[in-house]
Structure 1
């Protein structure tokens, strides 16, 4: 019992130390930007803000992706986490044209937003002027190394069958496909320090695992943006899922 408590405390400390460093990401880390064809918060005319945003980001060395995915470069098409999604939100007040430029990662988590305003009353010139003000706070692109393509097909692998053991042991899983009985996922190794669990047919990770300082214990970022811990146990992948009451439930993904 004491050993389990110490283990839990160790995991909590690991998560606290590494969360910010592991998951922190800046807009300038990206090369590719996706801009929607129309900004949703503008009910009617968007006053050419889509083109204005594309021009402003291109001037900061970002590559703005075309509307059709089949025209995207391979490193953007094959892994959505190489793309940051930009949006302009109408933040207008009674006498001032105001906008918010918002950037989201592949998990739909806001990683940066910048507000801009203009005292020009006319919408046609006031909104672009407000957007120009907001873009002043956006750093120029200084991209990090691209993530590799997400594997869409994984060859079937048979998990080795072992005799039951009395105690849980840290054994790395050998299977590529896993299930918790409700959700089927596949394990995709990104590099030596991280892997993802992706739902079948989706390029958006269900969970991202990054190495901690303890062998076979990982810092996990879930699709909803929450951070927790995960680990290997008897060839399965285990995630401690945070609950609203502050407790954690054990979610076990076994090889298929």
Structure 2
């Protein structure tokens, strides 16, 4: 009987303290990653990637959580992206914490791309390799135990080194290609492709996002969110990108960014 009790006790401790990221369904993602000066498209990229791994994304503000999650806050893990950059590389640290504020997964990613938007997104993409798909368990037995410290396994994701034959060079990956550049005569912007459905136009010098484009059902037409928070539409017209900018009088002006 004593042996059985020990086995049951060990099982319960595993249920409470031995959680993995894949055990969860809900991931809380903040509106802004505080260690970065700007967004750089990281929030949108992280949300889309986690949704692709079958996680359900909820807001960082607990007041906006659905009722079933509010009743069991320990069924949620919180995601955060930290700026871990050095002098020569853009680096990020992706962390997931449980309801006890204990890190249950920490994954690093790095990029040689110096442009912030492209570099940070490539680094985040690398760190996400360490995140498994959601395979949720029953979280009703998980409770908050703030005094318990979990062992943290840190996974470092690195870019695989491609080999080049002596006769021909391997084609460059999308992240290695030079960013496309556009200008309206006043602003010089670079087009950073986040994935197949969205891209960012960012300042060529500072890499601060100017506008984020998300695909619609119509080819080459996009929903656009400007840096000031306003929403509009944009589209390709030949080699140019057109944004219909809202004016104070309620009208829209056609802003043409020509490809260089």
* TM-score for the superposition, normalised by structure 1: 0.51
CA offset digits 1:152-205 (Å, max 9, x no partner): xxxxxxxxxxxxxxxxxxxxxxxxxxxxxxxxxxxxxx5xxx8x6xxxxxxxx3
Out of 94, 97, 110, the residue aligned to residue 117 of structure 1 is 110
* Contact 1:75/1:146 (<8 A) preserved: no
Q: Does 1:40 align with 2:34?
A: yes
Q: How do residues 126-205 of structure 1 correspond to structure 2 at under 5 angstroms?
A: 126-147=119-140, 205=144
> C-alpha distance in 2, partners of 1:105/1:64?
15
Change (3 A) 1:69 1:123: same
SS of alignment partner, residue 114 of structure 2 = coil
**Offset at residue 145 of structure 1 (A):** 1.2
**Offset at residue 76 of structure 1 (A):** 1.2
- 2:77 is aligned to 84
> C-alpha distance in 1, partners of 2:130/2:33?
20
**Offset at residue 124 of structure 1 (A):** 1.3
**Offset at residue 79 of structure 1 (A):** 1.4
> C-alpha distance in 1, partners of 2:61/2:108?
29
Out of 39, 47, 59, the residue aligned to residue 54 of structure 1 is 47
> C-alpha distance in 2, partners of 1:73/1:38?
20
**Offset at residue 146 of structure 1 (A):** 3.3
Structure 1 alignment gaps of length 5 or more: 1-9, 148-189, 197-204, 206-221, 228-256
* Contact 1:83/1:105 (<8 A) preserved: yes
Structure 2 alignment gaps of length 5 or more: 151-260
- 1:171 is aligned to none
**Offset at residue 74 of structure 1 (A):** 2.5
CA offset digits 1:60-94 (Å, max 9, x no partner): 00000135545533321211101000000111010
Change (3 A) 1:90 1:226: closer
> C-alpha distance in 2, partners of 1:107/1:68?
16
* Contact 2:102/2:149 (<8 A) preserved: no
* Contact 1:31/1:62 (<8 A) preserved: yes
Q: Does 1:224 align with 2:218?
A: no
SS of alignment partner, residue 98 of structure 1 = strand
Instruction: Give the aligned CA root-mean-square deviation in angstroms.
Output: 2.8
Change (3 A) 1:144 1:96: same
> C-alpha distance in 2, partners of 1:34/1:122?
28
Q: Does 1:103 align with 2:26?
A: no
- 2:171 is aligned to none
> C-alpha distance in 2, partners of 1:113/1:78?
27
- 1:26 is aligned to 20
> C-alpha distance in 1, partners of 2:10/2:61?
41
* Contact 1:76/1:83 (<8 A) preserved: yes
> C-alpha distance in 2, partners of 1:52/1:91?
18
SS of alignment partner, residue 139 of structure 1 = coil
**Offset at residue 38 of structure 1 (A):** 0.9
Change (3 A) 1:122 1:76: same
* TM-score for the superposition, normalised by structure 2: 0.50
> C-alpha distance in 2, partners of 1:132/1:77?
30
